[in-house]
Amino acid sequence: MTVDVLFPYYGDVALMKLAVHSVLKQEYTDFRLVVVDDGYPDDSIPGWFASLNDPRVSYQRNEKNLGANGNYRKALSLVENELVIVMGADDVMMPNYLQWLVDRAAEFPEAQIFQPGVFVIDQHGAPAHGLVEQIKDRARPKGHGPRLLSGEKLAASLLGSNWLYFPSIAWRAEAITKHNFRPEYNVVQDLALALDIIMDGGSLLLDDYACFQYRRHSGSDSSVKALEGTRFAEERAFFTQMAKEMDAKGWKRAAAVARAHLSSRLHAGFLLPRAALNKKWSGVKNLATHVVR
């Protein structure tokens, strides 16, 4: 079974090369690595990919920058096979990741979303386990080994606190291409996609088996937006929309969790002192607004 590893790229070149090499070193070798460069300003990149001389790797460069969500959507238009990963350009696959995926997909044919265990690392590759990870650990459904989750209970759990690690997730092509990333979101598009699949009856395979390194660093796009407070306006609109859609589906508990969006508001409150310390006064206003709404 060939696996499509989509690689929408814009960012640090050294980390990108580490990510690419982690794919090429997979124990399971039947894959396509599909790189979509969103015009990162480094003229050496096309030549570097050509130098890999690997027929499994394809590279294309956008003439116009599409932004993260637009580039994700373009990458999805290139899917050809049953299993898909949207790889983070600064994350690292452990050598056994693809083998884990193929094995679990065969074992759980009804699963449409696959979340493995992850190791969280910082920008230097050192282990990281800060407050965000601690919250995710507590929010993640308890259990041992691979287990299937679905329905309103799963939706409410994710709306309460998003414990997924998006770049590590694999998807059935039929599910991810059917729903795609909602174009109106630039921060929560991954959670929106997962919830669209869940609302459509899809199941998520959650496994403790750690085979992916997720990189969290202060310079990430989501971290910058968080401190400025701008991401929370999008989150607020997202939770409002999710509450309406959950209500329409009859998932009253999930709708109530979306309306409260407690973990999102607590996150904004946690960032308030840091924004004030950095004299980001517009960020302070945006964060305070989110906390009280």
Indicate the DSSP class of residue 229. T
Residues 161 and 264 in one domain: no
31-52 pLDDT tens trace? 999 999 999 999 999 999 999 9
Residues 206 and 250 in one domain: no
Residues 59 and 180 in one domain: yes
Residues 82 and 204 in one domain: yes
Residue (of 23, 15, 18, 213) closest to 120 by Cα position: 213
Residues 24 and 83 in one domain: yes
Residues 147 and 280 in one domain: no
Residues 258 and 231 in one domain: yes
pLDDT score of 283 = 83
Residues 183 and 38 in one domain: yes
- 277: containing domain: 221-292
User: Cβ contacts of residue 249 below 8 Å, gap of 6+?
Assistant: 199
Model pTM above 0.85 = yes
Residues 142 and 232 in one domain: no
Residue (of 254, 289, 258) closest to 271 by Cα position: 289
What amino acid is encoded at 149 in this protein? Answer: L
Domain limit, last residue, from 215, 246, 268: 215
Residues 104 and 192 in one domain: yes
Domain limit, last residue, from 162, 197, 215: 215
For the chain, the domain total comes to 2
Domain limit, last residue, from 215, 232, 252: 215
141-194 pLDDT tens trace? 999 999 999 999 999 999 999 999 999 999 999 999 999 999 999 999 999 999
Q: Please say if the pLDDT value at position 136 is more than 70.
A: yes
What's the chain's length in residues?
293
pLDDT score of 194 = 98
Residues 46 and 187 in one domain: yes
208-248 pLDDT tens trace? 999 999 999 755 445 555 678 888 999 999 999 999 999 99
Residue (of 87, 42, 39, 46) closest to 66 by Cα position: 39
pLDDT band (50, 70, 90) for residue 24: very high
Residue (of 37, 74, 43) closest to 57 by Cα position: 37
49-61 pLDDT tens trace? 999 999 999 999 9
Give the C-alpha separation, 205 to 148, whole Å: 5
Q: What is the CATH number of the domain that holds 171?
A: 3.90.550.10
Ranges of H-type helices in the chain: 13-24, 45-52, 67-76, 97-107, 131-139, 151-160, 173-179, 189-199, 221-228, 230-249, 252-260, 262-277, 281-292
Q: Please say if the pLDDT value at position 290 is more than 90.
A: no
Enumerate helices (H) and strands (E) in the chain, giving the number of each: 13, 9
Residues 187 and 230 in one domain: no
Give me the phi and psi of 22, to 5 degrees please: -65, -30
